[in-house]
Structure 1
Amino acid sequence: MNVKNLKDRTLVSVIVPIYNAEQYLTACVDALLAQTYTYIEILLVDDGSKDRSGILCDEYAQRDSRVRVLHLQNGGVSRARNHALNVMKGEWVCFADADDEVTPYYVEHFVDAMEEGVDIIISEAVFVHEDGSRERLSYKSYGTLSLPEIFSDNELSAHGYACAKCYRIWPMSLVTHELPLRFPEEIRFSEDLIFVMQYLTVSPRAKYIPYADYIYYLRSGSASGRFFTFEMERSCFYKYIAQMNILSVISDIDLMQFSSSASILSMLFARVRNSMYIKKELSREERVNFYKNMAPEIRQIICDNSRGANMLVRLGYKLFMRGKHFKLMDWYFFFMIAIYYKKAS
């Protein structure tokens, strides 16, 4: 395909969900307006911000015709992204978070990589820690990869965020589970990963490019440090399992065999486990039933891939989960987590 012609005619939409991001928003939007590839539309989705974010968005729209502003009542990042997906005009879409930045080549490098038969393009990224140190995420393999390569070589399960990726829009219009492909609004953690995995069930290849144009700022107070309701955490856990099963069938290989995929499963289980005791929404019988109703192969994967957990968690799995002593397991984690969070407070 002639890249020049593609550049001349391909509109790329950039979606930015925004909630109380006044102090970061200018840097983010200015970076998007400075893109070397200019045939873009920037959708700023004000998700019911209580600060001046919405006003800043409107000011940008008045100054640059490429900026469109959507004002919503607060409903979460997935709802904000989905609303923008429903009204965007581009043939391709990429995402940016309001407290992050991009280089001037973020969109251009995606456009340069576009070709027939490739519907998702994935780039490197730079992570900026709170102490100012930077870490570049690089991949093992580049070019167009199959599902097994995506999960084994490049560990998609560990890098399933929505940003630093560019998606062709037409696969999102296909009906999956009776609905167009969108971010799951019923969960608030790892919704990006679930969305990317759902996309790969429709278009099971990805093209990796060696450019680190997305700059993530790792800040305290992120979703990874918060626990949501048991139903939200459990939904995410089982959605991950369901998507891994579907992708494993498509690729004709068990993708959960790869350590990064299994480690994410173990992490998501830990979030469900902790939410049961921290949120105090379930009775003891309900907690025990959750453990008991998990598939034996899932329990085995969790036990085998909890090396990142502390010694007491690993001991609890070894003593109680492996032996199916679920009532004892419930008592063990009930007291262990209560003591841990009492000390932490």
Structure 2
Amino acid sequence: MFKKGKVSVIVPIYKVEKYIYRCLESIISQSYKDIEIILVDDGSPDNCGKIADHYQEIDQRIKVIHKENGGLSDARNFGMKEVTGEFTMFVDSDDWLEKDAIKVMINKIVKYKADVVQSAFYYAYEEQLLFDQRYYKQDNPPDIINNQLLMKELVINEKVKNFAWGKLYRSEIISGISFKKGVLFEDVFWAHQVMHRVEKFVLVNQPLYYYYQRDDSIVANYTPKNLDIIKGLIERHKFIERYYQNLAELSHKNILKMCLIHYNLLILNRKKDKSGIHRRNVQSYIRDNYTSFKKAISNDKELKGQLFLFSIHPFLLLLFLAVRKGLRRIKFLEKNEGLKRVEV
């Protein structure tokens, strides 16, 4: 039985000794006090386990679980088993919260009798914060979203994000839905199953979550394992076709966009795909689904052009994207504006 009004905060911990203090201090300092903090030490080889134990000693709301390393999904699944609160929140251990984050989200989920509340967030860098003003308007009231619109927004992944973090869930909504183990981008495999159960979703335009951006370059650190995101989108697409047929073309469009992005990343990381098997797999998938993709992007001039170039030869698309990037760099073409710098 979940305790009414209580919020369970799950924090998976692995090799984040540099960031963990900031994260935990932001949680224990929340203005909303009826919380339990479940720290899952996922076999971290640094001092994270000891740091977690120290916080458990000084704050009785904290419970620490030590386990063998199993990845982020496994750590979250362990944490979910310990939840006793009416509501659940996930916080990644290198991120942090505004002081009133939980209070604001609790007020909204109760006021609107919602199943899930999502807040806007900052992209947090060492020297700056960026706020995406394309999709969130800080002065606007909350958006109240029903299930059909919610699933559409989830597929678009602009206002409603696939991320597990940054949301407050009624614990019963996520009960029994585990994160898929052994994959990257585990949230893509998970979020649609949760949102399928949601009748009312509230989007708070006020940024309450700090999403930390490490200096790691996606190009420099790219591996074929990143292709898990395409697997997740394909798995979700089958779900969409079954329950939300009207969104199937939109889903296909996003899969195509992701395939093209990752094909180019594989080209830029040819040493990590020496045999070319991953590039061939992506190319084959696009070819096998070409008719469906073409139909799905019939109203998207830019994506139609990219698919056309790719179908002639993938390197034509790569050349086009490189030239466009160069033109934007010299300001011949306009850049896509939207991320507003916020003074720290």
- In the alignment, residue 149 of structure 1 is paired with which amino acid? L
Q: 236, 249, 254: which one pairs with 1:243?
A: 236
Q: Is 1:266 paired with 2:257?
A: yes
Please give the secondary structure, in 2, of the residue aligned with 1:203: coil
> In 2, distance between residues paired with 1:301 and 1:268?
14
Please give the secondary structure, in 1, of the residue aligned with 2:193: helix
Please give the secondary structure, in 2, of the residue aligned with 1:139: coil
> In 2, distance between residues paired with 1:43 and 1:334?
47
Aligned residues: 309
| Distance verdict in 2 for CA 1:35–1:255, change over 3 Å | farther
Greater Cα shift, 297-306 or 218-227: 297-306
Unaligned residue ranges in structure 1 (runs of 5+) = 1-7, 174-179, 340-345
Please give the secondary structure, in 2, of the residue aligned with 1:171: helix
- In the alignment, residue 119 of structure 2 is paired with which amino acid? S
Please give the secondary structure, in 1, of the residue aligned with 2:222: coil
> In 1, distance between residues paired with 2:217 and 2:66?
23
Query: What do the CA deviations read for 1:103-127 (whole angstroms, capped 9, x no partner)?
Result: 1211111211224862211111122
Structure showing greater relative contact order (alpha-carbon pairs closer than 8 Å, 6 or more residues apart):
2
Structure 1 position 31, deviation (Å): 0.9
**Matched-pair identity in %:** 23
Structure 1 position 68, deviation (Å): 1.1
> In 2, distance between residues paired with 1:162 and 1:318?
35
> In 2, distance between residues paired with 1:216 and 1:306?
32
Q: Is the Cα–Cα contact under 8 Å of residues 109 and 211 in structure 1 kept in the other structure? A: no
Please give the secondary structure, in 2, of the residue aligned with 1:11: strand
Residue 37 of structure 1 corresponds to 32
Residue 120 of structure 2 corresponds to 124
Residue 110 of structure 1 corresponds to 105
| Distance verdict in 2 for CA 1:264–1:213, change over 3 Å | farther
Residue 6 of structure 2 corresponds to 11
Superposition RMSD in Å: 3.8
Residue 207 of structure 1 corresponds to 202
Structure 1 position 41, deviation (Å): 0.8
Structure 1 position 65, deviation (Å): 0.9
Query: What TM-score, normalized to structure 2?
Result: 0.74
Q: Is the Cα–Cα contact under 8 Å of residues 15 and 46 in structure 2 kept in the other structure? A: yes
> In 2, distance between residues paired with 1:297 and 1:162?
30
Q: Is 1:279 paired with 2:276?
A: no
Query: What TM-score, normalized to structure 1?
Result: 0.74
Structure 1 position 133, deviation (Å): 3.9
Q: Is the Cα–Cα contact under 8 Å of residues 259 and 286 in structure 2 kept in the other structure? A: no
Please give the secondary structure, in 1, of the residue aligned with 2:31: coil
Q: Is 1:50 paired with 2:45?
A: yes
Q: Is the Cα–Cα contact under 8 Å of residues 45 and 69 in structure 1 kept in the other structure? A: yes
Residue 142 of structure 2 corresponds to 142
> In 1, distance between residues paired with 2:132 and 2:309?
39
Query: What do the CA deviations read for 1:124-154 (whole angstroms, capped 9, x no partner)?
Result: 1122234414325553783431244336668
Q: Is the Cα–Cα contact under 8 Å of residues 124 and 213 in structure 2 kept in the other structure? A: yes
Residue 169 of structure 1 corresponds to 171
> In 2, distance between residues paired with 1:268 and 1:225?
19
> In 2, distance between residues paired with 1:76 and 1:58?
20
